[in-house]
Structure 1
Amino acid sequence: TRSQLLDTEFQPTVTAMCQTGRMNIRVNFNQSFVGAVHARGHNKDYRRPPCMIAGDGSNNITLSVDLFAMPDSHDFCGIVVNNRTDERSLSIAVRIHKTLELADDKFYVITCGNTKYRNARNETSLVSLRLLDGTRRVQEAIFGHNYTLRAEISPVDGAYGFRVKSCLGFDTDNHNVTIIDERGCPDKAKFITKFVYNRNAGTAEATLSAFRFSDTQKQLHLQCEIVLCKESCGEPVCYGDDASSNFAVSKGQIIPREEEAVLHAGTSVFVLSPGDTPLLQPLCDDGAVHPGWLLWLAIALGILLLIMFIINVFLCSAMTCSCARTEIIEKEPSIIEDYDPYRSWHGSQYGSRYSLNGKPGYTSGGSTMNSTRSISTNSDHYAIVHSRPGSRYSGPAHKQHHHHHRGPPSNIGSHYSAK
Structure 2
Amino acid sequence: MDKLTLVVVAVFFFSLGACQPLVEQDFSPIVTATCKAGYMTIKVQTNSTFLGALHAKDYRTPSCLTNGNGSSQAVLVVNLFAPVQSPEYCGVLVSNKTDERSLPIAVRIHKTLELADDKFYVITCGKAGFKNAKNETSLVALKILDMDKKRRQTKVFYSHPYIIRADISRPDGTYGIRVKSCFAFNQRNNTVQLIDDRGCPINKQVLTPFVYSEADGHADATLFSMFQFPEHQEQVHFQCDVGVCKGGCPVLNCDDDFVTRAPTDGGVVVASTSVFVLQPGDPAALAEVTEASIWNGTWPLYLAIILGLLFLLMLILNVFLCSAMSCSCSRSQIIEKEPSIIEDYDPYRSWHGTHYSSRYSLNGKGGGYRSGGSTLNSARSVSTNSDHYAIVESSRNRDRHHPPSHLGYPKH
Report if TM-score (shorter chain) is over 0.5.
yes
Whole-angstrom CA distance in 1 between matches of 2:153 and 2:169: 20
Whole-angstrom CA distance in 2 between matches of 1:78 and 1:6: 33
Query: Structure 2 vs 1, CA of residues 8 and 201 (structure 1 numbering), >3 Å: closer, same or farther?
Result: same
Residues 55-94 of structure 1 aligned to structure 2 (within 5 Å): 55-94=68-107
Q: Do structure 1's residue 204 and structure 2's residue 244 form an aligned pair? A: no
Q: Is the 8 A contact 1:96 1:105 kept in 2?
A: yes
Q: Given residue 128 of structure 1, which amino acid in structure 2 is its aligned partner? A: A
Residues 329-344 of structure 1 aligned to structure 2 (within 5 Å): none
Q: Given residue 172 of structure 1, which amino acid in structure 2 is its aligned partner? A: Q
Query: Structure 2 vs 1, CA of residues 35 and 296 (structure 1 numbering), >3 Å: closer, same or farther?
Result: farther
Whole-angstrom CA distance in 2 between matches of 1:145 and 1:173: 24
The answer for unaligned runs of 5 or more in structure 2 is 1-17, 319-412
Whole-angstrom CA distance in 2 between matches of 1:80 and 1:223: 19
Q: Do structure 1's residue 29 and structure 2's residue 46 form an aligned pair? A: yes
Q: Is the 8 A contact 2:162 2:226 kept in 1?
A: yes
Q: Is the 8 A contact 1:85 1:115 kept in 2?
A: no
> How far does the alpha carbon of each residue in 1:26-53 deviate from its partner, in whole angstroms, 9 at most, with x for none?
111111111111112xxxx001110011
Q: Given residue 95 of structure 2, which amino acid in structure 1 is its aligned partner? A: N
2:166 is aligned to 151
Counterpart of 1:99 (choices 109, 112, 120) is 112
Query: Structure 2 vs 1, CA of residues 228 and 256 (structure 1 numbering), >3 Å: closer, same or farther?
Result: closer
Query: Structure 2 vs 1, CA of residues 166 and 281 (structure 1 numbering), >3 Å: closer, same or farther?
Result: farther
Whole-angstrom CA distance in 1 between matches of 2:133 and 2:187: 38
1:114: Cα distance to partner?
3.6
> How far does the alpha carbon of each residue in 1:306-344 deviate from its partner, in whole angstroms, 9 at most, with x for none?
99xx9xxxxxxxxxxxxxxxxxxxxxxxxxxxxxxxxxx
Query: Structure 2 vs 1, CA of residues 264 and 184 (structure 1 numbering), >3 Å: closer, same or farther?
Result: same
Q: Given residue 219 of structure 2, which amino acid in structure 1 is its aligned partner? A: A
Q: Secondary structure at the match of 2:266?
A: strand
Whole-angstrom CA distance in 2 between matches of 1:299 and 1:15: 59
Query: Structure 2 vs 1, CA of residues 102 and 141 (structure 1 numbering), >3 Å: closer, same or farther?
Result: same
Give percent identity, aligned residues only: 47
Aligned length: 295
Counterpart of 1:262 (choices 253, 256, 268) is 268
> How far does the alpha carbon of each residue in 1:231-271 deviate from its partner, in whole angstroms, 9 at most, with x for none?
112232213xxxxxxxxxx5341254242211111111111
Q: Given residue 173 of structure 1, which amino acid in structure 2 is its aligned partner? A: R
The answer for unaligned runs of 5 or more in structure 1 is 240-249, 311-419
Q: Given residue 219 of structure 1, which amino acid in structure 2 is its aligned partner? A: Q
Q: Is the 8 A contact 1:85 1:127 kept in 2?
A: no
Q: Do structure 1's residue 170 and structure 2's residue 191 form an aligned pair? A: no
1:116 is aligned to 129
Q: Given residue 44 of structure 2, which amino acid in structure 1 is its aligned partner? A: V
> How far does the alpha carbon of each residue in 1:135-181 deviate from its partner, in whole angstroms, 9 at most, with x for none?
11111111111100000101101221111000010001121011000
Whole-angstrom CA distance in 2 between matches of 1:62 and 1:154: 34
Q: Secondary structure at the match of 2:229?
A: coil
Whole-angstrom CA distance in 1 between matches of 2:288 and 2:73: 45
Residues 218-233 of structure 1 aligned to structure 2 (within 5 Å): 218-233=234-249
Whole-angstrom CA distance in 1 between matches of 2:20 and 2:69: 16
Q: Do structure 1's residue 278 and structure 2's residue 284 form an aligned pair? A: yes
2:357 is aligned to none
Q: Secondary structure at the match of 1:50?
A: helix
Q: Do structure 1's residue 192 and structure 2's residue 207 form an aligned pair? A: yes
Query: Structure 2 vs 1, CA of residues 280 and 9 (structure 1 numbering), >3 Å: closer, same or farther?
Result: farther
Whole-angstrom CA distance in 2 between matches of 1:215 and 1:36: 34
Residues 291-306 of structure 1 aligned to structure 2 (within 5 Å): none
Q: Secondary structure at the match of 1:174?
A: coil
Q: Do structure 1's residue 18 and structure 2's residue 66 form an aligned pair? A: no
Whole-angstrom CA distance in 2 between matches of 1:98 and 1:298: 65
Q: Do structure 1's residue 39 and structure 2's residue 52 form an aligned pair? A: no
Write 1 or 2 for the structure with the bigger share of strand: 1
Query: Structure 2 vs 1, CA of residues 295 and 49 (structure 1 numbering), >3 Å: closer, same or farther?
Result: farther
TM-score between the two structures when normalised by the length of structure 2: 0.64
Query: Structure 2 vs 1, CA of residues 190 and 50 (structure 1 numbering), >3 Å: closer, same or farther?
Result: same
1:22: Cα distance to partner?
1.2
Q: Is the 8 A contact 1:88 1:111 kept in 2?
A: yes
Query: Structure 2 vs 1, CA of residues 33 and 152 (structure 1 numbering), >3 Å: closer, same or farther?
Result: same
Whole-angstrom CA distance in 2 between matches of 1:104 and 1:300: 70
Q: Is the 8 A contact 1:233 1:255 kept in 2?
A: no
1:63: Cα distance to partner?
0.1
